[in-house]
Amino acid sequence: MAAELIPFGEYAPGAGGEFERECAGALRDHLPRGYIIATNVHLQRGDAGFYECDAVIAAPGICDILEMKCLLPEITVTEDLIVTSNGFAIDRPFSTVDHKAKVLRSRRQRPPFSSAPHHRNLTVGSQVVVPSTTQICYKDPSRATTNVVKTLADTIQKYVDLAKTASNFGNHTFQMETRSNWIAFRDSSSMAQRHNPRQLGRFTIKRQLVADRGLYEYAAVDEAPVRMEVRLREFPFDPTLPPKELDAYLKEVARESAILTRVRHPFVSCVVGHFQTGCSWVQVSDWFEGKSVEELWPVLANGTHWDRIAIFIKVIQALEFCHEKGVFHRNLTADSVWVSQDLEDVRLGQFDCALDLAGTSTLTGKALSRRDARILPPEDLQTGRSANARLGDMFQAGVLLYRLLENGSWPFSDTLDYVTGGAKIRSFTEHSSDPSLGKIRNLAVRMMNVVPGSRPDLLSRVEQDLRGAMAG
């Protein structure tokens, strides 16, 4: 029978957490009965803070803290530093995990842990675990002697061998006592577990917003004394990729950051930095307390047409500023526009598909093809790319304006159907005798014209028409 997994809390966010999950599952499946693997254990320190332990492996006569580090393909281990072959470094990993082991040893001297000598009088060890395929090079003789860093495969073998040699390991009574101790400790510390924050780099994770194999997003807080609220977007990568492929991937995911550092506007999402972990690249943006228009249709339905037009004007101002800087969005949707709950503030984001005339990297046609078929400019169906990117943005803005007027309904099922079906737009559902609203509806239709040259050419003119209609 396999070892038993006792989860204390959730795995770390993002790519690093996926490796923790993999390690926990492998230890559970390959270690013999009698072992307890307690995951995501948080130890309260004297300063009211917490130490986070990825896993604690326990059995009669055995108690070690395991720290999981997804570091590939090669690492160099010195006295208190681990450096990967692609330059990522972890400072003081061994002194940190050693201190965690001391805190755990102290905690084991108190209930709910048993006071019996065979439970209390044991040394708490520590081990750093890396993927099974990682090549480890020791530069410090003392670390090489203790093998403080082991691959997952070697870690499993270590504890399989220990089970055969530890004098009390097979004692069924001691095994049940160990299990009861850790379950009682988990139950007694559950409240602290729920309130303990998670870390990504120097940032404290408040909550996870998006979880996808290719992207994780979080609401987070910078470290003291700044304590600035931020939005993190984490892009996992495979560190074993050949250098050219890895560089190409990092350049692709960093395109948006490179663009947004040049485009500073009150209504454009602001990127303030980035950093890299051992297995991911992370974008840091200003936090904006709002939701996407796609999420806000029920709220917008309770407002007026003019509330929605006011939002759209701010989107137009942001887009116009981007065009002046030679940046064209090309993926303008209700998901890429965020609005505050009072509908007063707006942020335009998701520049993943943007064209930057001053940029050094281009986006592949495959990436552009992933866009929603209902916002593709008609000219993209023939060439794969708008001859005039400004008019492509104009078309997408027209679709957004229509949806704002129609509370989320689409003007057509997709662009291909729109083009081949005689360029027919679904009729506006609400009858109105207001001539101002009629002008705005006509403007939306003109912005979605199948022929690019027949659309309004400058966003400033669109804004002028909208303001004129609002003024009556």
CA distance 191 to 8: 10
**The pLDDT of residue 1:** 57
Q: Is 34 helix (H, G, I), strand (E, B) or coil?
A: coil
Average pLDDT over residues 111-133: 90
Which tokens sit at 8?
A: 């204390």
The reported pLDDT for the residue numbered 11 is 82
Rounded to whole angstroms, what are the CA distances from 266 to 87, 205, 329? 36, 25, 16
Cβ of 107: how many Cβ atoms within 10 Å? 16
Q: What is the mean pLDDT of residues 396-406?
A: 97
For residues 335-344, average pLDDT: 94
State percent of the chain over pLDDT 90: 62
Instruction: Report whether 366 contacts 401 (CB < 8 A).
Output: no
Q: Are 170 and 164 within 8 A, CB to CB?
A: no
Q: In the predicted model, what is the mean pLDDT of residues 197-201?
A: 75
Beta partners for residue 200, in sequence order: 203
List beta partners, residue 284.
Answer: 232, 273
Alpha-carbon distances, residue 407 vs 207, 307, 404 (angstroms): 29, 12, 5
- H or E element, residue 465: helix 459-470
Q: What is the structure's pLDDT at 213?
A: 66
Query: Of all helices (H) and strands (E), which one includes residue 26?
Result: helix 14-30
| Better pLDDT: 198 or 305 | 305
Model pLDDT, residue 48: 56
Q: Is residue 397 scored above 90 in pLDDT?
A: yes
Phi-psi region of 326 (alpha: psi -120 to 50; beta: other; left: phi over 0): left
What's the confidence (pLDDT) of residue 386?
61
Residue 338 · residue 346 · CB < 8 Å: yes
Region 345-371 average pLDDT: 81
471, with CB counted inside 10 A (0-12, 13-18, 19+), is: exposed
Domains and CATH numbers, the chain: 4-196 (no CATH), 200-286 (3.30.200.20), 290-470 (1.10.510.10)
Per the listing, tokens 């530093």 go with 81
- Is the model's pLDDT at 325 over the cut of 50? yes
Cα dihedral value 145, 151, 156, 157, nearest 10: -50
Which has more pLDDT, 278 or 371? 371
Report, as an integer, the average pLDDT of 72-96. 92
Give residues with Cβ within 8 angstroms of 40, minimum separation 6. Answer: 7, 8, 9, 10, 11, 12, 20, 52, 53, 54, 55, 193
Q: How far is CA 44 from CA 41, 171, 193, 207, in A?
A: 10, 31, 10, 21
DSSP single-letter state for residue 268: B
Residue 365: pLDDT band (50, 70, 90) is low
Indicate if the alpha-carbon torsion angle 379, 384, 387, 390 is positive or negative: positive
Cβ atoms within 10 Å of 409's Cβ, excluding its own: 12
- Note the pLDDT of residue 383: 64
Cα separation of 436 and 468, whole Å? Answer: 8
Tell how far CA 224 is from the center of its chain. Answer: 22
pLDDT (0 to 100) of residue 24: 93
| Per-residue pLDDT reduced to its tens digit, 419-448 | 998 888 999 987 777 888 999 999 999 999
Among all chains, which residue has been given the structure tokens 């102290």?
106
* pLDDT score, position 362: 63
Cβ pair 292, 338 in contact under 8 A: yes
Strand partners, 149: 128
Query: What mean pLDDT, rounded, does the chain reach?
Result: 89
Q: What is the dihedral of CA 47, 52, 57, 61, to 10 degrees?
A: -10
How far apart are alpha carbons 407 and 430 in whole angstroms?
Answer: 11
**Per residue in 205-214, pLDDT tens?**
888 888 776 7
- Residue 53 clears pLDDT 80, i.e. is over it: yes
Q: Which of 218, 245, 274 is nearest to 17 (CA)?
A: 218
What's the mean pLDDT in 106-128?
89
If you average pLDDT over residues 98-124, what whole number do you get?
89
Overall pTM surpassing 0.85 (yes/no): no
SS3 assignment, position 147? coil
* pLDDT (0 to 100) of residue 241: 77
Across 101-110, 232-241, 390-399, 419-428, the highest mean pLDDT is recorded for: 390-399
pLDDT, one tens digit per residue, over 236-289 is 887 777 888 888 889 888 989 999 988 999 999 999 999 888 788 999 999 999
Chain position carrying tokens 């027919």 = 424
Residue 192 binned pLDDT confidence (cut-offs 50, 70, 90): very low
pLDDT at residue 193 in the model: 46
